[in-house]
Amino acid sequence: MIQFEKVAFKYPGADHYALVNVTLEIPQGSFFALLGPNGAGKTTLLRLLCGRFSRAAHDGDAKAKKMGGEGFTGDLIVAPAFRNADGFLNARCYGVLLENPGVYPKLSIEEYLSYFAGFYGMGENACMPSGMARARVEELAERLELPALQSRLSTLSLGNRQKVQIVRALVHNPKVLILDEPVANLDPNAREMVWKLIAEWREKEGGTAIVCSHILAEMEEEATDYAIIDGGRVIASGLAPSKSANAEKAGGHKFSISVQEEASLEQIKQALAEADIRAEVVAHKSSLADIYRNSTK
């Protein structure tokens, strides 16, 4: 669905690249965990996907030059059904929550969400009637246990403000969610509500969630695919370990053993057979947290 091919990007005036030769693929319908330490380049990659940066200007490329900055090099490939004329994600196809979203404290929750819903063809004078837009807002607000929609944003806790931003990202039933630390400031129960809501949206809409989070235990539970970025480079990627492991067979006894010297699975099986021990031998699967720790040392 979305591919990055040898993408590199440097902020204007910076002395180093924020992204270096990034190559990865985000499958349609996946929960894609984008992991890495602070300053690794995760948010930059999400901004690039949303069209915040131009492609590098070439001779005669007046549009790219007009956008300013150095632009990025490499290829961003978005499936035709989801891309705009410039090759980025179509704004109506995705919902986004990046760091430090704008909050208008004098607006009520309803006014704020209606304002943004208008950008997606919802509300008055739009393709989706106001009644349907309001019903969608009410549904999501109820699911996340927000206070009354007439409440001013200035009166909300940090957690409830975060919930409002999640509703804003989901209000137009997007096909792609781009979320940077979506459960920051939320208590454990609220975090569970958010992940459940996203899981149901993925199942119903066939949606693709691209999520940055430092809560590795929750990413282990939710992610189908992952990439770890450090220093602007992809240092590990693939299927999430919890999804790639085969389902355990019922019955019998299960033992975990450590081998002091290097040995292949076949050598271990042979040694057990010679000792007249009948067993199914399966290699230990690392957790996402294990992969993260080993990759970012």
Mean pLDDT by 10 residues, the chain (297 residues): 94 91 96 96 93 67 46 92 90 88 88 84 50 86 96 96 95 94 94 96 95 93 95 93 54 55 67 74 71 84
2-243 CATH pick, 3.30.980.10, 3.40.50.300, 3.30.450.20, 3.40.50.11540 = 3.40.50.300
pLDDT of residue 244: 61
Dihedrals phi, psi of 51, to nearest 5 degrees: 85, 20
Cα 52 from Cα 43, distance rounded (Å): 11
Torsion sign (Cα): 78, 237, 182, 20: negative
CB 240 within 8 A of CB 27: no
Q: Residue 241's pLDDT is what? A: 83
Residue 125 amino acid letter: N
Q: Taking the model in full, what pTM does it have?
A: 0.80
Relative orientation angle of helices 109-117 and 158-170, to the nearest 10 degrees: 30
Dig out the tokens for 237 from the structure.
Answer: 């990627």
- pLDDT value for 269: 72
pLDDT, residue 125, reads 39
Q: In 3D, which of 228, 178, 222, 207 has the Cα closest to residue 51?
A: 178
Structure tokens at 271: 């040694």
Contact (Cβ atoms closer than 8 angstroms) between residue 226 and residue 285: no
Domain layout of the chain by residue ranges = 2-243, 248-286
pLDDT of residue 294: 84
pLDDT, residue 138, reads 94
| Tokens at 7, concatenated | 């993408």
